């Protein structure tokens, strides 16, 4: 059974003026998503700036989220890195916090060959008892997971699915065809409908940070085979979705939240301020579409 269906928000991490996690704003964001039907929270992911969070900050953020969410929807922790031993440590700590599942990115920079990547996932899976969703995002990791490798990994007891951020619908279709029991989540907000039309269970979303109800409704419609409604929502918000990726994520989405009056602060270095031309585009789209928080 899927960890969740629908829209899981890859939650942005708010920082205060001293570059610490701002838990007052964090709580406001969680409450906002609960009111607007977000189906799951993904904490310490790419959008949450996990590469710049210490292990202690990751654990603290998870504990805070678990308490605030109170079991209303699943909480999924990002726990992958490019050191298998470290990934095991992070994964075990996340499990202790009570999360419902792990989102484990493929190793980056040192990458790993297929036997190494298989061992990486198998070792993490054997160290915990909760479900694991593989996260394949070649644009960030430089690693392409072959479908035969995914098929082999699907045989590991608690590896239950994949967040597919390849943007390659032929690849997505091949996974759906050859590993029908695998849960597929779109990792790209611009192709939620096509991925779900191939049998995907939902989306792990960046744009849901600012349009949670709309993203939930789109994913729910697609899941229930109401593709006309899902298409209407997908296309309506496509310009905004695209604008959220004019620069590296999460720079634009954090700026969008700031424009909407939610003081999430800037990204941690090496993320810098958004370019003014892109800020103007975001502001215009937010106003045109009537986005409010």
Out of 135, 171, 185, 237, pick the active-site residue. Answer: 135
Q: Is 160 left (phi over 0), alpha (psi -120 to 50) or beta?
A: alpha
| Three-class SS state of 1 | coil
Phi then psi dihedrals of residue 212, to 5 deg: -65, -45
CA distance 120 to 9: 26
Residue 77 three-state SS: strand
To the query of whether residue 135 is one of the catalytic residues in this protein, the response is yes
Q: E strands of 143-229, at which residues?
A: 159-164, 183-186, 202-205
Looking at residue 205, what DSSP letter applies? E
Residue owning tokens 């986005």: 291
Q: Is 288 a catalytic residue?
A: no
Phi-psi region of 40 (alpha: psi -120 to 50; beta: other; left: phi over 0): beta
Annotated catalytic residue: which of 163, 185, 201, 223?
A: 163
The string of DSSP letters for 57-86 reads HHHHHHHHHHHHHTTSS-EEEE---S-HHH
Q: Name the residue among 217, 164, 214, 216 with its Cα closest to residue 194.
A: 164
Residue 1 burial by Cβ neighbours in a 10 Å radius (0-12, 13-18, 19+): exposed
Report the residue count for the chain: 293
**How crowded is residue 193: how many other Cβ atoms within 10 Å of its Cβ?**
23
- List residues bridging with 203 in a β-sheet: 7, 186
In what helix (H) or strand (E) does residue 148 lie, and over which residues does it extend? helix 147-153
Distance between CA 155 and CA 122 in Å, rounded?
Answer: 10
List active site positions.
135, 163
């Amino acid at each position: 059974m899927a960890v969740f269906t629908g829209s899981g928000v890859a939650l942005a991490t708010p920082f205060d003026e001293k570059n610490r996690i701002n838990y007052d704003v964090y709580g406001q964001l969680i409450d906002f998503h609960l009111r607007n039907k977000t189906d799951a929270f993904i904490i310490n992911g790419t959008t949450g700036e996990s590469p710049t969070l210490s292990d202690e900050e990751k654990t603290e953020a998870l504990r805070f989220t678990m308490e605030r969410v109170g079991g209303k929807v699943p909480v999924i922790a990002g726990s992958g890195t490019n050191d298998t031993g470290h990934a095991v440590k992070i994964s075990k700590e996340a499990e202790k916090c009570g999360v419902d599942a792990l989102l484990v990115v493929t190793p980056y920079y040192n990458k790993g060959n297929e036997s190494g990547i298989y061992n990486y996932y198998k070792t993490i899976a054997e160290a915990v008892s909760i479900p694991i969703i593989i996260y394949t995002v070649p644009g960030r990791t430089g690693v392409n997971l072959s479908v035969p490798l995914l098929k082999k990994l699907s045989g590991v007891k608690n590896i239950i699915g994949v967040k597919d951020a390849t943007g390659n619908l032929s690849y997505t279709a091949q996974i759906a065809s050859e590993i029908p029991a695998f849960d597929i989540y779109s990792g790209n907000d611009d192709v939620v409908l096509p991925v779900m039309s191939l049998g995907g269970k939902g989306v792990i979303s960046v744009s849901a940070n600012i349009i949670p109800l709309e993203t939930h409704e789109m994913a729910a419609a697609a899941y229930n085979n109401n593709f006309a409604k899902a298409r209407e929502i997908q296309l309506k918000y496509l310009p905004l979705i695209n604008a959220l990726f004019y620069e590296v994520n999460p720079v634009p989405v954090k700026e969008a939240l700031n424009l909407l009056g939610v003081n999430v602060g800037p990204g941690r270095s090496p993320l810098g301020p958004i370019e003014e031309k892109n800020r103007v585009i975001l502001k215009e789209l937010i106003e045109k579409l009537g986005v409010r928080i």
